[in-house]
Amino acid sequence: MTTQDILQDAHKKAVEINAGELIHAGFLPKSGLIFPAILYPPAIKIAKKCNITEDQFFADYKATGPFVIYVHIPFCVNRCNFCHFVTKTGSPSEQVDLYLNAIEQEMDLYLKRLSLTKIPTAAILIGGGTATNMTPRQMERFLAAFTKRLDLSCCEQFTIDTDPTTILGADGEEKLETLVRFGADRITIGAQNFDNAILKKMNRAHTAEEIKIAVKSAREHGFNNISVDLIYGYPGQTLEGWIDTVQQALELDVDAFQAFELRVYSGSLIDGPTPVHFHRSPGDFPGVDERTSMKAGAILVAEEHGYYDGDYNYLFSKKTGMTSQYQEKRSSLLYDTLAFGMSAQSVLGGSIAINEFASMARYCSEVAEGRIPLVRGKTRTLDDILRRTVISTLRTRRFLSKDEYQKRTGRDINDVFGKKINALKKYGLLTEDEENLRLTERGYYFADTLCMQFHHPDFLPFERNEYHEGELNPYNN
């Protein structure tokens, strides 16, 4: 297909999907914006409404494992304008060392609480921030201490999130060598865009050329599973420019890429500057039909290059096994999660807990004094569990086994959500057979929003008046 063919077909697909009908039905908010259905209840709602003590979090929990493991490294070269995560820029080396000390101390506190000598580990993600924004010496020290506390005998994947600039040059090469030596086997590189003008608007610290050098270096240093992250829907971005970005990414022969729609609002704990920009100048942002065209365009380009997204929503790969096992096990298979560092979110059984996210000094002092630095959390109710089981699985896998739902919750899904399911089927967003619920193509385009249909009204991200009072208004649950 030529670029012109892709542009035409992408526009046709947006017309076919017809987001306008879904706005008037109350499915999408009037703004047409999405909200990521990553965690249920959403972290931002837990941070505002719920609390949990350390004793409550560990009450009656028997560690069996294996766990999925997350570490949050908040240090960044720049604060990107689209970012909603807890980050720190301009941190001196001494502060990085203090933070790494605290990570070790926090891991030891969990080991003691769970009566373990090592944590049985199924999958790892080290993210941020920028997980590689430290010196080679600090990377060596961190990974040695981190892996020493884990039982990696059943670990299926070890992913590191990175920024191109932090793996360039002699220091970057040394860090890549260290990562591979300590078992990292999958790397995600935050490319975001291949248009230098858009990268500048995003306040990214790298150029398009540096992305290409970083991908090449990661491959040369032993990574056989390389993914790049890309963002669409950013102010000033056009469909044609987005198609060019995806094409340039895939010409690098990466193993996978993730296409994220810009999150104006986020389920994270801290909003970046994007919401302010949107309220001030909403016309700067591509509209919902343009963003739908962008998603369609990404799918068309991916197919042209031999990529598919059958394993996991939002992630396109050439073959199975290249997707994030951390996300698969955490979101779809509902493994318990041990998460370390500022803003990290752990899950033990029916409880979720969020670490200190506002102050690095407070995070470090809490663990130094022998306390796991929990500031918010919630023990899930039966209602939470009934909803989470739908949300997590549909968002990532596109289908939900009715039998699996029954086994996990003890309830028939149609007894719980039958009215909602029928309404979604009426609008061509879900299909149903004897065994499964499954997203249609239309539902797939709005997977996050579809999952919000199963949120309790107390945990919806948009107010009722931000929706039309249609049949799919999520407040009608």
Query: What local confidence, expressed as pLDDT, does residue 276 receive?
Result: 87
Nearest CA to 2 out of 237, 208, 240, 251 is that of 240
The DSSP-derived string for 70-131 is EEEE-EESS--TT--S--EES--HHHHHHHHHHHHHHHHHHHHHHT-SSEEEEEEEEEES-T
Cβ contact 172:221 at 8 Å: no
Burial of 313 (0-12, 13-18, 19+ CB in 10 A): buried
Nearest CA to 29 out of 477, 446, 459 is that of 446
Per-residue pLDDT band at 392 (split at 50, 70, 90): confident
Mean pLDDT of the chain: 93
Residue with tokens 């491959």: 219
Which residues, 6 or more positions from 288, have their beta carbon under 8 angstroms from its beta carbon? 19, 23, 28, 32
Nearest CA to 257 out of 274, 242, 273 is that of 242
Determine the average pLDDT of the residues in 395-424: 94
Residue 360 one-letter amino acid: M
According to DSSP, the residues that pair with 186 across neighbouring strands are: 159
pTM: 0.94
The two structure tokens encoding residue 389: 């089981």
φ/ψ of 432, rounded to 5, equals -145, 135
The DSSP-derived string for 298-351 is HHHHHHHTT-EEEEETTEEESSTT-S-HHHIIIIIS---EEEESTT-EEEETTE
Tens of pLDDT along 231-277? Answer: 999 999 999 999 999 999 999 999 999 999 999 987 666 667 888 89
Query: What local confidence, expressed as pLDDT, does residue 160 receive?
Result: 98
Query: What local confidence, expressed as pLDDT, does residue 270 receive?
Result: 67
Residue with tokens 């604060």: 79
User: CA–CA separation, 307 vs 256, rounded Å?
Assistant: 8
Can you tell me whether residue 239 is helix, strand or coil? Answer: helix
Query: What local confidence, expressed as pLDDT, does residue 473 receive?
Result: 97
Tens of pLDDT along 175-217? Answer: 999 999 999 999 999 999 999 999 999 999 999 999 999 999 9
The two structure tokens encoding residue 314: 């939002």
Cβ contact 79:272 at 8 Å: yes
Cβ contact 376:50 at 8 Å: yes
Beta strand 436-439 pairing with 430-432: antiparallel
Beta strand 119-128 pairing with 67-73: parallel
Determine the average pLDDT of the residues in 401-417: 96
**How far is CA 345 from each of CA 40, 331, 352, rounded to the nearest angstrom?**
12, 13, 7
Per-residue pLDDT band at 355 (split at 50, 70, 90): very high
User: Given a cut of 70, is residue 477 above it in pLDDT?
Assistant: no
